[in-house]
Chains A and B, each alone.
Chain A
Amino acid sequence: MDYTIFAVAIFVVAILVFGGVFLIRPRRPESGQPGAGEESAPSAGTAVAEPEEAEEAGTATAGTVTAEEPEVPPTEVETPPPSAGRMVRLRARLARSQSTFGHGLLNLLGSDKLDEDTWEEIEDTLVTADVGVTSASQIVDNLRTKVKVLGTRGPDEVRGLLREELLAQINPDLDRTVRTEPHGTRPAVIMVVGVNGTGKTTSCGKLARVVVGDGHSAVLGAADTFRAAAADQLETWGGRVGAPVVRKDEGADPASVAFDAVARASEGDDRADTVIIDTAGRLHTKTGLMDELGKVKRVVEKRCQVDEVLLVLDATTGQNGLRQARVFAEVVNVTGIVLTKLDGTAKGGIVIQVQRELGVPVKLVGLGEGPDDLAPFDPETFVDTLLE
């Protein structure tokens, strides 16, 4: 029997249902000159993206600024396991993971003449770090223009320019503090979201340690009611630092778990300063699950304002990371990114693109499986280590 008939059926349905959409919209990209369209498309894209970025950055900072006064600067730094060591470790780890990247760039810039091939290789090196083709070519183009304008030739100067350029892409001015301070009697609420297997539960556990290490109390909400044993995993983490875990049976409504966690932290004997809600991993393409995530946030907000929505991105993720970030930002208004598994060979360059497109800053980095391998993200260190 032949099933291609379904193709026909689907098309008929599509035409009838979305006819208007499909008949009208796709005209646009074609109307321009094909050759020029190709060139102009990316720049048009960024032109649109920039105001958005600025705006989002604005709201992001605005959002935190209001709540900032009582805040202890980078919370994690004050954690008992020597906080200073965290940055050193970040540096050391990055040095390991990024060495090829840094060295490659250095060698390229160190060569006497900067010809077309060199530029191309710089671009390729950036692409290899998952920076993305668009970002990479923009960085290189900017660098080229600067070198031309300034007439720079020396490798050191060019290196300085590259550092500036990379820093500019990461935008060091963004507020990267994670809000964990309670508002009066109301606890701070942190929601952790992301696709499957990026390390959400682990990040929640580590974050709880940081909060407790800071002298605050934390309640963990195991709103991952889908994956087998996710709540157990979180409980193990919570048990280590004495943070209670609010959990329900597998398959329970995650929104209700989250709500209960917040309720428990805001009243009674178990009153806590910070609530960390671990959500189930979900692919951003599953609209049903994304709606569920939106619901979790809405339900929590009935009780308490959500201070932070942290998107956990895996450093190994390629260009798909951008799509993930985009969809999650749409659904739950992501306020920060946790870049995990940076201790491997992956470079996590996708972060540059995500920040550029969405203006959402990377706030924390995960550097390993150890319980304290979570550090605040420092753009300067990040870039410096790239170039060291």
Chain B
Amino acid sequence: MFETLSDRLTSVFTSLRGKGRLSEEDINSTAREIRLALLEADVALPVVRDFIARVKERARGEEVSRALNPAQQVIKIVNEELVEILGGETREIRFATKAPPTVIMLAGLQGTGKTTLAGKLGMWLAGERNTPLLVAADLQRPNAVTQLQVVGERASVPVFAPQPGNGVGDPVEVARESVEHARRNNHNVVIIDTAGRLGVDSEMMQQAADIRDAVEPNEILFVVDAMIGQDAVNTAQAFLDGVGYDAVALTKLDGDARGGAALSIRHVTDRPIMFASTGEKLEDFDLFHPDRMASRILDMGDMLTLIEQAQKTFEESEVEKMASTLASEDDFTLDDFLQQMSMVRKMGPISNLLGMMPGMGQMKDQIGDVDDKDLDRITAIIQSMTPAERANPKIINGSRRLRIANGSGTQVSDVNGLVTRFFEAQKMMRQMKNGGMPGMPGMPGQGGGGGKKKAKAQGKKAKKGKQRSGNPMKAKQQEAEKAAERERRREQGGEQPQQLPPGLGGGAGGPQLPPGLGGSNTPNVSDFKLPKQ
């Protein structure tokens, strides 16, 4: 099956590769693919319909772009529309200016993660120099109060729980008292955790409304599970009618659900998504970034998150060192590789990292197979080599291979494979350092613009595969190309070296491509400087 929208579109467009523009037919056939992709991402049907209509409209009116092929053009439109619907900017909490405390109320279906989110939010707010108070107003579910107390303890946030719960006590009363309590004890934020309820349960909805009226919250957050399907629209509407809310918090984003619900809810209720919760630990919580979500729905990778993760994990000096190894005059050696691998591993499981790379969606299955144990095996092989062998793997002959295999507990064929792949990688690194584009011998990418290359790019369009053309890039963007090219080579089995990498994005002032396609949206790429020789 085709996983990503870009793959779907590419398959539609392979037959029209030569054409530089979108015809009515193209748009219609594309529309069906977009519809399927969105539905598979759990975007609600009515929203999909609206969305398609808008995309069609825009695609028709779109100027023929000389730099983008039709598929890219459509993806660009879709991405822009998605980001627009998801809300341009990140929304902040509105704090009560006049009469503290600021009251934040959480509401949602059962099992969406309200109690956990309360703890996360409390900790996050405490980190921002607030003095939050968690309020246990979920007196319905057995031991929800205990859970909140434990969560509060873990987050070092005080919990107000006058009632034992398990069906005893009046949540409205608890909520009312809590505000008083907060005022007396100088808490500037009150987070009220309410019981999970169904949109159709009028009694419970009334209770939620009563709590709302009792405390007049500054923010009501609708907590919703990223895995929710088509029902998202109904539920979101029911809660909007029943309690009303100001913003949405999306939970369980660390799974592989695409989170199309975010789009549906935003579209139907026009409420911004404020927070995203991405894991079981209390720190796994952050403000919501619409552009990243758009990429996720389209399955285009998430470079920004990747980069942030790197920033969190490493010191600047480490990164510099790594960059200098990669760009140094000397050949790339197995030692360098070993070092790189250990750094990459610090960032998390390799399959997660690969998943964040743009365009990796279609390789989801393979990525799923990828195991960090493979990395251990490789490490073992390399560590079984002598320093001389590591510096110069060319000297590894048959008997050395056998020794290495025995030493690392692997097969000779494994060693062979590693060495072969290493030479390949080494060759690529060398090309990269020389400023050439690997795999593109005809186009030494010395950077700079020029119509000549554009023409060439167009000419090459006729060649096979799912290539995308693009306008020329600056030399300093070559880095992105390298990455994209490598990925492309893997996708295409390394053949067809003349292909243009998907990462050929616009240079400054060029047309904006969605992150998955490179272009100036691709974070930081343009800042990257290769030391010139």
Given A35-B15, A233-B141, A347-B231, check contact A3 B319 (CB 8 Å).
yes
**Residue-by-residue, is B479-497 near A (CB-CB < 8 Å gives 1, otherwise 0)?**
1101100110111111000
Contacts of B429 in A (CB 8 A): 12
- Pull 17 A–B residue pairs with CB atoms less than 8 Å apart, ordered by A: A5-B528, A8-B482, A9-B326, A11-B482, A26-B363, A34-B15, A41-B1, A42-B1, A128-B230, A236-B142, A316-B225, A317-B228, A344-B199, A344-B200, A345-B235, A369-B110, A369-B141
Docked pose: A369 CA to B227 CA in angstroms: 21
Residues of B within 8 A of A (CB): 1-2, 8, 10-12, 14-15, 36, 39-42, 44-45, 109-113, 115, 140-144, 146-151, 154, 166, 198-200, 225, 227-232, 234-235, 238, 252, 254-258, 260-261, 280, 303, 306-307, 310-311, 316, 319-320, 322-323, 326, 337, 340-341, 343-344, 347, 349-350, 353-354, 357, 362-363, 366, 369-371, 374-375, 378, 417-418, 420-422, 424-425, 428-429, 465-466, 479-480, 482-483, 486-487, 489-494, 523-525, 527-529
Let me know if B42 and A318 touch, CB within 8 A. Answer: yes
Who on chain A is nearest to B466 by CB? A30
B310, A197: Cβ atoms under 8 Å? no
Let me know if B350 and A13 touch, CB within 8 A: yes
A contact set with B: CB distance below 8 Å: 1-27, 29-30, 34-35, 37-38, 41-42, 45, 96-97, 124, 127-130, 132-133, 195-199, 202, 205, 226-230, 232-233, 235-237, 250, 283-287, 314-321, 323-324, 341, 343-347, 349-350, 369
Do A96 and B363 have beta carbons less than 8 Å apart?
no
A19 x B350 contact (CB < 8 A): no
With CB as the reference atom, state the residue of chain A lying closest to B420.
Answer: A19
Say whether B349 contacts A287, CB under 8 Å: yes
Q: Which residues of B contact A24 (CB under 8 A)?
A: 493
Smallest CB separation, B53 vs chain A (Å)? 15
CA distance in complex: A29, B113 (Å): 39
Majority-rule SS of A interface residues: helix
Give the residue of B110, B148, B150, B254 whose beta carbon is less than 8 angstroms from that of A197.
Answer: B110
CB atoms of A318 and B493 under 8 A apart: no
**If the complex has contacts A228-B154, A229-B143, are A16 and B109 also in contact, measured as CB distance less than 8 A?**
no
In the complex, what residues of B have CB within 8 A of residue A227's CB? 147
Instruction: Report the nearest A residue to B231, measured CB to CB.
Output: A346
Not counting A35-B14, A229-B144, a sample of 6 additional A-B residue pairs whose C-beta atoms are within 8 angstroms of each other reads A4-B525, A16-B418, A19-B421, A25-B366, A26-B492, A26-B493
> Given the interface contacts A197-B111, A369-B110, does A12 sit within 8 Å of B340 by beta carbon?
yes
- Give the distance in Å from the alpha carbon of A343 to the alpha carbon of B142 in the complex: 19
Q: Provide the bound-state CA to CA distance between A321 and B256, in Å.
A: 10
Let me know if B357 and A369 touch, CB within 8 A: no
**C-alpha spacing A190/B252, complex, angstroms:** 27
Measured CA separation A344–B239 after assembly (Å): 12
Query: A residues within 8 A CB of B493?
Result: 23-24, 26-27
Identify which of A2, A12, A250, A319 contacts B40 (C-beta below 8 A). Answer: A319
Given contacts A22-B363, A127-B45, contact A229 B147 (CB under 8 A): yes
How many angstroms from the CA of A268 to the CA of B425 in the assembled complex? 64
The 3 closest A-B pairs by CB, nearest first: A318-B229, A197-B111, A228-B150
A199 and B344: CB pair below 8 A? no
Contact among B255, B307, B340, B479 for A284, CB-based, below 8 A: B255
Least CB separation from B483: chain A residue: A7
List the A side residues contacting B494 at CB < 8 Å: 23
> Which residues on A sit within 8 Å (CB–CB) of B320?
1
In the complex, what residues of B have CB within 8 A of residue A232's CB? 142-143, 146-147
Residues of A within 8 A of B254 (CB): 283, 285-286
CB-based contact B200/A18 at 8 Å: no
- What's the minimum C-beta distance from B47 to chain A, rounded to whole angstroms? 11
User: What residues of A have a CB within 8 angstroms of the CB of B280 in the complex?
Assistant: 196, 226
Asked if A320 contacts B255 (CB within 8 A), the reply is yes
Question: With a CB–CB cut-off of 8 A, which chain B residues contact A237?
Answer: 142
Q: Is the CB of B227 within 8 A of A6?
A: no
Contact A197 B486 (CB under 8 A): no
Q: How far is the CB of A83 from chain B (nearest CB, A)?
A: 24
Q: Say whether, besides A2-B528, A17-B378, A318-B227, A7 and B418 are in contact (CB < 8 Å).
A: no
Q: Please determine whether A26 and B362 come into contact, CB atoms closer than 8 angstroms.
A: yes
- Known A24-B493, A130-B230, A318-B229; judge A345-B238 contact (CB<8 A): yes
What is the CB-to-nearest-CB distance from A366 to chain B, in angstroms, rounded to a whole number?
10
Specify which of A14, A324, A350 is in contact with B350 (CB 8 Å cutoff): A14
Residue pair B111, A199 in contact (C-beta under 8 Å): yes
Kindly report which residue of chain B lies nearest to residue A318, judged by CB atoms.
B229
Q: Smallest CB–CB gap between A353 and chain B, Å?
A: 11
Interchain CB contact (< 8 A) of A15 among B349, B375, B486? B486
Q: Are A9 and B229 in contact (CB under 8 A)?
A: no
Q: Which of chain B's residues have a CB closer than 8 A to the CB of A287?
A: 349, 371
Query: Pick the contact of B111 from A20, A27, A235, A314 — CB < 8 Å?
Result: A314
Closest CB-CB distance, B207 to chain A, in whole Å?
Answer: 13
- On whether the beta carbons of A197 and B252 are closer than 8 Å, the reply is yes
Which residues from chain B contact A349 at a C-beta distance below 8 Å?
A: 230
Q: Could you tell me if A16 and B421 are in contact, using CB atoms closer than 8 angstroms?
A: yes
CB-based contact B524/A2 at 8 Å: yes
CB-nearest residue of chain B relative to A369?
B140
Contact (A233, B337) CB under 8 Å given A3-B319, A199-B111, A316-B225 = no
Distance between Cα atoms of A196 and B116 in the complex (Å): 11
Complex contacts, B2 vs chain A, CB 8 Å: 29, 38, 41
Partner of B235, one of A12, A25, A38, A344: A344
Q: Are A15 and B39 in contact (CB under 8 A)?
A: no
Task: Give the distance in Å from the alpha carbon of A195 to the alpha carbon of B199 in the complex.
Answer: 22
